[in-house]
Chains A and B, each alone.
Chain A
Amino acid sequence: MTDFDLAQSRSGSPNSRMPVPTASASIVPQDSVGGRALVAVVAIMTFLASLTTGAVMLVRASAVEWQSDVARELTIQVRPVPGREMEADLARASDIARRFSGIADVRPYTREESERLLEPWLGTGLSLEQLPVPRLIVLRLTDGADVDLPRLRTALAEAVPGASLDDHRGWVDRMRSMSDTVVIVGALILVLMLAAMVLCVAFATRGAMASNRPIVEVLHFIGAKDGYIASQFQRHFLVLGLKGGLIGGGAAILLFAAGGFAVNRFMATAGGDQLTALFGTLSIGIEGYILILLQIALAAALTAVTSRHTVNQTLDAV
């Protein structure tokens, strides 16, 4: 034990054998069990929230695509009328449709194609001539075209007595309500997911802060101002939150990027085409990536703000 002799020790200089000390340690411990657990919780919650966001974006994009696919097509139905030649009526109706602007393609279904359409119900070897079955002409619209449907309908009714125009309005309405429902359900799930993320991150931050209470008290008693103490913790927890958010959000971004790449690569295969039909190109688009980045920022900001709030509560209780 060294003696505390004032005169003797005060005359001494710093011990030359000792390494020069430096105050390199952060006031808030950099590596703690609570901190690592917090990073893991933030990473997991950000990953799940990002997946939900991406899934909602995919569903929304697919729903819009389904709607526009249906809405881009019109069908002329030509019913057989006694005394009229079906093929001539089909040709006449096709000619009328071609004259209208906004129609990119007019394709009357051939007799064989019409037979194939009915095959599931009526079996093979069918001859349509023996049955009064209507024939179809599929009109494909140019993107964003505004076709004068009433005039087309009137023109068809005047020239071809058995023709009627179906703009699939009923289908589009049902498709729209279905896709709207899907998007609303997705948005609700996203809101719940974000709420869960907020709560989990807030509680995990409070948990990690619990072990730091003695540090807050010591800083308080040695005369540190509340703002100084809060900023020390806020900065530290912002870094933890950002780390967790980047791990979770980054993993989600990689997953979606890989998914998009895989779909593009297998586009021509049967499986790839099925996936594309269901989920589009599996690309969440730039909006999706921006939303994921925002969630990373949200997780980090939330962690920092919760730590500040907890410090203030601790200081009030000291």
Chain B
Amino acid sequence: MAYAAGDNNTDSFGDVISRHLSERLKLLLVYAILIIATVQTIYPLFWMVFGSLKTDADLFNNVWGPPRVMVWQNYIDAWRIADLGARIGNSIIITALSLTVLLIVSSIAAYTLARLQFPGRQAIFLIILATMMIPPEVTVIPLFIVVRTLGILNSRFGLVFVYAGTSMAFSIFLLRGFFMSIPPELEDAALVDGANRLQVFWHIIMPLARPGLATVAIFQGMFFWNEFFLAFIFIRQAELQTIPLGLVNFFYRYSADWTLYFAALSMVTIPVIILYVAMQRWFIEGLTAGAVKS
């Protein structure tokens, strides 16, 4: 609107009107495209919720619309048959433990690399930088052997250490950047007063680095919560399965209970969507900043 080309002084009345119209038309087109993009993004999710409340007949005959009768029983059955309670519990435990290990270990290492001088500092940082770009998928076979040798196959702890280990380089890199942006004068004062490095780190740096820690927590927390590939390789026992594994398992076991699948998928997806919408600014900033910093 503000950037219409041309020199206003010499415009005739007709020109102004037609430009105004074409601006209007352009705006309409922009909205049309954005609305189409939005509908095709969120309609499948509404459709999933609709399907979760339908009867089987309704699902097949009334594909597009909302359910004619609400079948809440789908949720009860899906919860029970898919054993969602146990899967959600596993996902919470594994995500929380992985994040705890990752955040503690990587923040101490990142602080060391950001602030301390010691022989080999540059070499260690370069190794971290190099391994950061290597996704764990390409080393999955040897990783499987390592995990088996350590005797932590089929264990929640095993998966926690695999997650923490394979996300370590990225997390250190990200936090190192945050630590370096904190002015060192603050620590110098505390060091002069006789505090040691760990005290400085815990009492001065960590509170200041909260935005950085939040970014890692959202970015990696999301990743651990949603992760399937590594969990699929390292967890084979049904009672240890996370949500993504449980869904796939459920889906392959009961091949005709479509409305129950819709209900199971809705149950694990709706809380994530609500959390996302409630904290969308945090999510969008955390996920994009996390990615960009890498």
Decide whether A and B are members of one complex.
no
Which B residues lie at the A interface, using CB under 8 A? none
